[in-house]
Structure 1
Amino acid sequence: MSTLVHAGSATTEVSARKLLSVLIGLAIMTAIIMAPSPAGLSLAGQRVIAVMVFVVLMWITEAIPYGVSAVALVLLLILALGFSPAANGVGPILGTAKAIPLALSGFSNGGWLFVAAGLAMAAAITSTGLEKRVAYLILKLVGAKTHAIMLGIILTAFALTFFIPSVIARAATLVPIVIGLTEAFGLPRSSQIGKAMLLLAGILPSVTGVGVLTGAAPNPVMVNFLTGAGQIQVSYVDWLIYLFPYTVVFSGALYVLVTRLFKFEFTELPGGSDYVSARIAELGPMSSLEKRASAIMVVTILLWATDKIHHVEASAISVFCVLLLVLPGVGVTTCNDLYKRIDWNSILLFGAGISMAEMLSKTGGAAWLAKVAFVESGMGELSVTALAIMIFVVVFFVRFCFTSITSCLTAITPAIIGFLVSLNNPALPIVGIVLGVALIAQCLSIIPVTSAPAMIAYGAGGFTTRDMMRLGLPLAAIMYGLIVLFMFTYWPLVGLWT
């Protein structure tokens, strides 16, 4: 009885805290709306900023679910824009009827389409079990040595990145596999081997995802932000050339750290590769669904990689892939089954978040925020290298405010791009700095709560926050060191940095 009372009390306390967060957010939003408009900021821009502050606070505190915050964001944007002057100054209000397509603009965006199609692809592929077969085949290939298994987990994460364009889906695939491997060693999940493998499973999906344009949902959205600001279109191959080598080197450093920090109980998996072979045997022969899924994904990856030849947008290719995956007689699933498997909250969140970013840009809110946060602080007068490093340091601290990589990048990227564009410096590598921001946001792994994959691994109960910090802090130092190294060596060679 006392346990039930304690649980009920804890639930009530959490609900009260969330309600308080919502009330504080509404109060701050109202205060910003009612305040006199600062010089250089339109009334619409001021109100969109107020909405953004409220929504970001909801994302940080998780006071309301992400799907609910997305719907609330659309409604608040309709009201903020609809009751603001249509022009930058005074005059008749725009009206909610005209504000509706503006508030929903993110859902007609190529970046949003890419995200939605990617989540659908991940749901369809995982329904066939193909991802588990790929993972176990890689583990069988690397052998039964403990260090080799750690390397195999890294290789598996990279391979799954090309087949499953969803960070969460990849984590959900990796975590059960490493749990099974830990049990094969006859060790608890909290053992040194168990901790190491679970930490890899929690960190790698985000790291490998940032190296491939289709590997993580924020990637195509950031490309869309850059294109909307007049920057060059970053293609699938461009992104691969720019960031994939970094993720390979970074993952190598992660491997070295893991194998040095944790004192493994065994040097080889008991029974050798028999365990992995048994898992493959359990899967049986490759099913027709797996064969179809493999063929469809191979075609899709080839089309993504040759987009500069056929000039078909990657988002359109993704939609084509989804069509093949659900097409009767060709596909691997049905629309009804796919509907049940798709993460609709993420789709809503991205669409609404892109709408917010676009409205911040169109109303001048992003430019004004960039001016206040960066220009007036004197950062704009720094050298290119110093400016980039300062932005990366700011992103490091801002990242801890968000439990979602997606919401973090959606919130901060427009302001950073607006600031960089406002400097009117042709020598400034805007695309390079923004992609560096993507690296930091997705490779930073210090505490579990700041990323969904880490939380999935943490939920398995094998490691503590302290264990992750022990690995994540030196890994963060390596991350920044590698970024600086790439700024002066590799990125200038491929035209990303000047």
Structure 2
Amino acid sequence: MGGQGTVAATGVVAATAALLVLCMGLWATGLVAEVVTALLFFAAAMLLKLAPAQTVFSGFASSAFWLVTSGMVVGLAMNRTGLGDRLARMLAARLPASYPGFVAGLVAFSFALAFIMPSNLGRIAVMVPVLIALCDAFGLTAGRPGRRGAILAFGIATPVLSAAILPANVPNLVMAGTAETLFGIHLAYLPYLFLHTPVLGLVKGAILVACTVVLFPDRLDGTRPAPVSLPPMSGEERRLAVVLALMLGLWLTDGWHGIAPAWIGLAAAVICLMPRIGMLPSTSFSDIPLRTCFYVAALFGLTAIVNETGLGARIGHALLAVAPLQPGADATNFATLVGLSIGFLFVGTANGAPALYTALAGEFAGSSGLDLLSVLMVQVVGYSTLFLPYQAPPIVMTMDLAGLSLRDATKLTAASGLVSLIVAAPLAYLWFRLTGRLA
């Protein structure tokens, strides 16, 4: 009987490994739609009896799933009310009339917008048409390198810089949700922001601007576009602005009141959909791209199965056999963990990499001597260091909407990723030590 149980357990592990490779491969290559792969996972996991239903569908119970969903609602409200477009057009009056300043202004606005619009794809959808109009207004006409560089800089800044803001992109939510599911760890908004913003927000933003200006040299003629006359804010815009201000205020003070960012975001989404006081009719919920929400839920469920079947421990042991992790060697451990996180990017993209890494974080912590939270936080330095456009859907969406070439996008992504690895990663290590995150 014992032998049969061992064989059955081995079969479950093998089937889980096959499903992991299949799902991550389909998500990385995009051969089928993300939601189809997600549904394939749910069906296969249940048909093969890899884990109980509460494990397979645990992603739907994660707070990160609900934060993704609520972010989609808020993003739709920003689009429908015109508040997102208003914010973008107000930016035009404040952009410097020099090419480096123009690019820096767009990158800074991308980071600022992430605080109030927690959806990378939503920000891209709102901003790319406005960016094209801004480039025309500043004389960066079609075909000029500065136009390509400025739009790509915003597109790359959207997933990269928002990694410093906990609810602002899918990889963060995947990491937070997986950590909650597997380890019971709940990340707080303000400590996370303090740990990552100086390097991942400010330093990486400066690196991206410098790479853009060097790789896509151009210059503006110094003239500013004529001021755009904006109509008065509508009642819906004003109500949405109040909701966003309250949501951001509660996020910033979650350490005081103890309410998780997900439930704050969910409350904001409900207000947006409420009759009379809301900005969206209830039927608008059908316009929410739930495929992304199902994708996130499937990722959480997959990592939960990987952990429960013991596959995660086996993969961790295999990696630890070659990874130079050892107690007391903080610099080496930090570099190794960042390298592992970056390596997962090429397998599962920025959305899938945190799920793979976080499932193995316990093994990494045990071998490195670092506490579990530090191991989890180091990965953010890695998965925010992109080298290829396919690793982040917002970059691909930017290319599609603006008609930009893969060659240009790869050139800027690879260059900024390489410089970030050389400059930002060591600075992140120093900041982790300075803040006491590493001993």
Residue 261 (str. 1) matches residue 205 (str. 2) = no
Matching residue within 346, 355, 362 for 1:400: 346
2:321 counterpart residue number: 376
Q: Which amino acid aligns with 1:376?
A: A
Is contact 2:161-2:204 (8 Å) kept?
A: no
1:187-207 superposed Cα distances (whole Å, 9 cap, x missing partner): 443312211111112101112
Residue 160 (str. 1) matches residue 149 (str. 2) = no
1:475 counterpart residue number: 416
CA distance in 2, matches of 1:208, 1:137: 21
Q: TM-score, normalised by structure 1?
A: 0.80
Is contact 1:361-1:414 (8 Å) kept?
A: no
Any residues of structure 2 matched to 1:220-299 within 5 Å, and which? 220-230=173-183, 232-246=185-199, 247-268=201-222, 270=223, 272-274=224-226, 277-278=227-228, 281=229, 283-299=230-246
1:414-473 superposed Cα distances (whole Å, 9 cap, x missing partner): 3431421443x5x415433433323332341x4333322211222245643333343333
The size of the alignment, in residue pairs, is 433
- Residues 227 and 291 from structure 1, CA distance in 2 versus in 1: closer, same or farther, beyond 3 angstroms? same
Unaligned runs of at least 5 residues, structure 2: none
Matching residue within 375, 390, 399 for 1:458: 399
Matching residue within 250, 256, 264 for 1:317: 264
Matching residue within 189, 192, 212 for 2:165: 212
- Residues 161 and 74 from structure 1, CA distance in 2 versus in 1: closer, same or farther, beyond 3 angstroms? same
Is contact 1:124-1:338 (8 Å) kept?
A: no
Is contact 1:367-1:422 (8 Å) kept?
A: no
1:12-54 superposed Cα distances (whole Å, 9 cap, x missing partner): xxxxxxxxxxxxxxxxxxxxxxxx9999965433322221111
1:141 alignment partner, SS class: coil
2:155 counterpart residue number: 202
Q: TM-score, normalised by structure 2?
A: 0.90
Larger Rg: 1
The structural deviation recorded for 1:238 is 1.3
The structural deviation recorded for 1:236 is 0.6
2:251 counterpart residue number: 304
Unaligned runs of at least 5 residues, structure 1: 1-35, 85-98
The structural deviation recorded for 1:285 is 1.3
Q: Percent identity?
A: 20
CA distance in 2, matches of 1:201, 1:266: 18
The structural deviation recorded for 1:223 is 1.9
Q: How much is the aligned-residue C-alpha RMSD, in angstroms?
A: 2.5
The structural deviation recorded for 1:386 is 1.6
CA distance in 2, matches of 1:104, 1:385: 38
The structural deviation recorded for 1:492 is 2.0
Matching residue within 68, 72, 77 for 1:115: 68
- Residues 135 and 185 from structure 1, CA distance in 2 versus in 1: closer, same or farther, beyond 3 angstroms? closer
- Structure 1 residue runs of 4 or more that deviate by more than 6 Å after TM superposition: 36-41
Is contact 1:139-1:156 (8 Å) kept?
A: no
1:326 counterpart residue number: 273
Q: Which amino acid aligns with 2:208?
A: L
1:357 counterpart residue number: 303
The structural deviation recorded for 1:347 is 0.6
CA distance in 1, matches of 2:323, 2:103: 45
CA distance in 2, matches of 1:483, 1:212: 18
The structural deviation recorded for 1:218 is 2.3
CA distance in 2, matches of 1:177, 1:443: 26
Q: Which amino acid aligns with 1:260?
A: V
1:282-301 superposed Cα distances (whole Å, 9 cap, x missing partner): x4111111111110000011
Matching residue within 329, 345, 367 for 2:313: 367
Is contact 1:161-1:209 (8 Å) kept?
A: yes
1:74 counterpart residue number: 42
1:86-137 superposed Cα distances (whole Å, 9 cap, x missing partner): xxxxxxxxxxxxx333321211122212222222221222221111211222
1:405 alignment partner, SS class: helix
CA distance in 1, matches of 2:41, 2:340: 25
CA distance in 1, matches of 2:87, 2:123: 12
2:275 alignment partner, SS class: coil
- Residues 336 and 460 from structure 1, CA distance in 2 versus in 1: closer, same or farther, beyond 3 angstroms? closer
- Residues 79 and 40 from structure 1, CA distance in 2 versus in 1: closer, same or farther, beyond 3 angstroms? closer
Deviates more, 1:237-246 or 1:467-476: 467-476
